[in-house]
Chain A
């Protein structure tokens, strides 16, 4: 069978340093996967490889059975994969509405046209309004994105990511920098807007991970050492040793 997203022996070197060393992962369509791992394990690099920001050194990435490694980010996006960023990455000088409208344009087939007025694109406008309501920013419609609060910018980031209608969504630490109560609300928002989609998310907050994910992939030193249900991962000896162990040790040492 073909998976929504599949990594086959993926490797990435920066100079002589191996960051990703033979990562394997196969995600079934509709699964919610949380990727966890200690700092510097290569989680973000993995996302950058999948989304085409970097090209892998070797190995394969398949999206719905088709090779996407060594394709440009926009080509991968057109094939149905979309990502958000750990550091907010929106269009600061465009309004909330314009941000979302830009994000829906390609998927509706408007491409590079300059022979149609935006105001006449009924489907694009309605879709942008719909996503704006989904991420609860409809009251901020005409505000420039740079003037939003941090949490609102994070929501817009998610909005831009899902607005193109991709089936596979990668969220890189969507709740980074948020307070506890914001995080809780935000997680339910993410669940709501990604219904029926394949979701991969990098997350540090263990409460979030176990609440959101159907499956957990543990990345340590550039390898996926475990990929299973939360319960199974929790009881996996290798994981406990390599990741959760050090995590507990961290917390005991007062770090975190």
Chain B
């Protein structure tokens, strides 16, 4: 019996995946060499750690927190003060350990606030996190010595003794520091899911009452998980402080907390790797999408809405469902339907997008005249033609999308039935 635990064939797969992850982290800046992609890659690493730490609460513990930025943000502030104390010659911790200072700060604040927060679960928990977040944000306006007021606290990461010529001045050096922390933190957070506390945390998520009757204090379980999440959140915050060299009160704000929730959910809270996708999307949205259109938050809100309604498992669950279909060799049956969905969905999006952009143009840029360029076409924001055309495209797109969706749902259902049958057949064989 004991031999069944020692040898697991998919351990090989695990090695492959972790090696690939390391390779991607190492070679990404060599492939994407522009300045913009350099800063984006660094931010992605930070966002990945933050979203994964958030998912310890949301996905693994069933704790909906509206105030995770408190722990990333306060980690950032403590880290930047530590950095400044190095610059000022008051301490001589190596700069590469600054993120750990942030992590320890994260632990400290999670021990303090988490004690109150994790007394409750469910809706009261969510409300307390909201309260704590507001409290900390209000304090950030009151204590300007620590939070730096409106201007925030700035620092210089080229501080103290350079180690083997590494000053962390150039972006590429800070990237590799972030990449190293990202790899280690992701590995540690994955390891956490394989420990007794990690598994009991899942049990608390599923059925807290029953956990009480198998000897565990659910409050304790939530509290410990909260502290661990706080640690990784603080590391992420510390890395952010090093990367931007400035920390403003915005990092503890509600918007930041909402962002972690939104993108962790979009990426997928039910699978470990979901928040990694979420973190990457977060940076793409904040850096690229916000450049592309002024209405980016509106698009993001719509996307979130559709995800919650139609794919509550996030992108990760969509991937896993399709991998299952692919594993049974059924993907070729359905790819035409996918194509239909994408094309019709895109048509509807063009129609909706044109109208959204026209409204935004009228509200914000009307001084520049009535015409705007949208996807290479000149639109007149006050012209009947443009509006009728947009509405026509939207309605056509939506109609076709609905037809494609129904067709897809039937095919999808058939495939699932086939797969179930196949599984049954293999079991009996």
Residues of A participating in the B interface, judged by any CB pair closer than 8 Å? 51, 72-74, 77-78, 82-83, 85, 89-94, 98, 101-103, 105-107, 110-119, 121-122, 124-126, 129, 160, 163-164
Complex contact B213–A83 (CB within 8 A): yes
The one of B192, B202, B214, B221 in contact with A93, judged by C-beta atoms closer than 8 angstroms, is B202
List which B210-241 residues lie within 8 A (CB) of chain A: 210-217, 220-221, 224, 228
Chain B residue at smallest Cβ distance from A99: B203
Complex contact A102–B214 (CB within 8 A): yes
Q: A101-B199, A112-B221 are in contact. Are A74 and B2 (CB under 8 A)?
A: no
Complex contact A94–B214 (CB within 8 A): no
- Max chain A Cβ within 10 angstroms of own Cβ: one of B196, B198, B202: B196
Residues of B within 8 A of A98 (CB): 199, 202
Residues of B within 8 A of A92 (CB): 206-207
Chain A residue at smallest Cβ distance from B270: A93
Tell me, rounded to whole Å, the shortest Cβ–Cβ distance linking A90 to chain B.
7
Residues of B within 8 A of A118 (CB): 194-196, 198-199
Q: A77-B214, A106-B216, A160-B210 are in contact. Are A91 and B202 (CB under 8 A)?
A: yes
Complex contact B213–A82 (CB within 8 A): yes
**Interchain pairs with CB closer than 8 A, number:** 106
Residues of B participating in the A interface, judged by any CB pair closer than 8 Å? 1-2, 5, 8, 191-192, 194-200, 202-203, 205-207, 209-217, 220-221, 224, 228
Chain A residue at smallest Cβ distance from B202: A94
Chain A residue at smallest Cβ distance from B207: A91
| Complex Cα spacing A129 to B192, Å | 23
| Complex Cα spacing A95 to B228, Å | 25
| Complex Cα spacing A209 to B290, Å | 70
Complex contact B213–A73 (CB within 8 A): yes
Tell me, rounded to whole Å, the shortest Cβ–Cβ distance linking A61 to chain B.
16
Complex contact A164–B1 (CB within 8 A): no
The one of B8, B191, B197, B213 in contact with A112, judged by C-beta atoms closer than 8 angstroms, is B197
| Complex Cα spacing A52 to B110, Å | 30
Tell me, rounded to whole Å, the shortest Cβ–Cβ distance linking A148 to chain B.
14
Those 3 A-B pairs whose CB atoms lie nearest each other, nearest first: A106-B215, A114-B197, A73-B212
Tell me, rounded to whole Å, the shortest Cβ–Cβ distance linking A100 to chain B.
10
Q: A74-B212, A78-B215 are in contact. Are A113 and B206 (CB under 8 A)?
A: no
The SS class assigned to the B binding surface is helix
Residues of A within 8 A of B195 (CB): 113-118
Residues of A within 8 A of B202 (CB): 91, 93-94, 98
Complex contact A51–B196 (CB within 8 A): no
Q: A91-B202, A93-B206 are in contact. Are A117 and B194 (CB under 8 A)?
A: yes
Residues of A within 8 A of B192 (CB): 114
Q: Can you spell out 13 A-B residue pairs with CB atoms less than 8 angstroms apart?
A: A72-B217, A74-B214, A85-B210, A91-B202, A93-B206, A94-B202, A94-B206, A112-B216, A113-B195, A114-B195, A114-B224, A124-B196, A125-B2
| Complex Cα spacing A119 to B191, Å | 11
| Complex Cα spacing A109 to B206, Å | 22
Chain B residue at smallest Cβ distance from A101: B199
Complex contact B210–A91 (CB within 8 A): yes
The one of B5, B196, B214, B216 in contact with A113, judged by C-beta atoms closer than 8 angstroms, is B196
Contacts A77-B215, A94-B199 aside, 8 further interface pairs with beta carbons under 8 A come to A74-B215, A82-B214, A94-B206, A102-B211, A111-B196, A116-B195, A118-B198, A164-B214
- Max chain B Cβ within 10 angstroms of own Cβ: one of A72, A74, A121, A129: A74
| Complex Cα spacing A121 to B209, Å | 25
Chain B residue at smallest Cβ distance from A141: B4
Residues of A within 8 A of B217 (CB): 72, 74
Tell me, rounded to whole Å, the shortest Cβ–Cβ distance linking A24 to chain B.
25
Complex contact B206–A91 (CB within 8 A): yes
Complex contact B213–A74 (CB within 8 A): yes
| Complex Cα spacing A121 to B1, Å | 13
| Complex Cα spacing A57 to B186, Å | 50
| Complex Cα spacing A94 to B200, Å | 10
| Complex Cα spacing A90 to B205, Å | 12
| Complex Cα spacing A118 to B206, Å | 19
| Complex Cα spacing A94 to B62, Å | 14
Tell me, rounded to whole Å, the shortest Cβ–Cβ distance linking B44 to chain A.
27
Residues of A within 8 A of B2 (CB): 122, 125-126
Complex contact A160–B196 (CB within 8 A): no
| Complex Cα spacing A228 to B342, Å | 72
Chain B residue at smallest Cβ distance from A111: B196
- Max chain A Cβ within 10 angstroms of own Cβ: one of B195, B210, B215, B224: B215
| Complex Cα spacing A118 to B200, Å | 11
